[in-house]
């Protein structure tokens, strides 16, 4: 996926499709108006039309297979901060 900037807004090359024997690219950019909704990762690693978006399902964990751990979290106000503090991926 290619990410470019146009006037400060990200523009995503989100899909390669074959039309009439040629490969064409679909580009999306955030605007106030438009016909489609799309989602994108702020770091530019993922973008997709909302109809085609997917997410990864986490690996199942057997209940009780991992010990519960107390974590001291003073001054950690939100989920992103907590993820960074614990060194875990946000879920």
Is the pLDDT assigned to residue 51 strictly greater than 80?
Answer: no
Give the model's pLDDT for residue 43.
78
Mean per-residue pLDDT, 32-52:
77
Listed in sequence order, the residues at least 6 apart from 76 whose beta carbon sits closer than 8 Å to its beta carbon are 82, 85
**DSSP state for residue 65 in the 8-state scheme:** S
Q: What distance in Å separates the CA atoms of residue 4 and residue 71, rounded to the nearest whole number?
A: 40
Q: Which of 5-9, 27-31, 41-45, 46-50 is the least confident region?
A: 5-9
Q: Report yes or no: 17 and 24 within 8 Å, Cβ to Cβ.
A: yes
Q: Looking at residue 54, what is its pLDDT?
A: 73
User: What percent of the chain stands above pLDDT 90?
Assistant: 0
Residue ranges per structural domain of the chain: 2-49
Arithmetic mean of pLDDT, 61-82: 86
Q: What is the pTM of this model?
A: 0.38
Q: Write out pLDDT tens, residues 19-31.
A: 666 766 667 777 7
How high is the mean pLDDT of the chain? 75
């Amino acid at each position: 996926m290619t990410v470019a900037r146009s006037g400060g807004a990200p523009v995503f090359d989100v899909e390669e499709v074959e039309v009439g024997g040629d490969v064409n690219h679909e580009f999306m950019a955030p605007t106030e108006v438009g016909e489609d909704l799309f989602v994108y990762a702020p770091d530019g690693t993922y973008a997709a039309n909302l109809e085609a978006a997917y997410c990864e399902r986490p690996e199942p964990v057997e209940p009780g297979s991992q010990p519960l751990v107390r974590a001291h979290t003073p001054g950690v106000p939100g989920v992103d901060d907590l993820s960074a503090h614990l060194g875990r991926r946000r879920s």
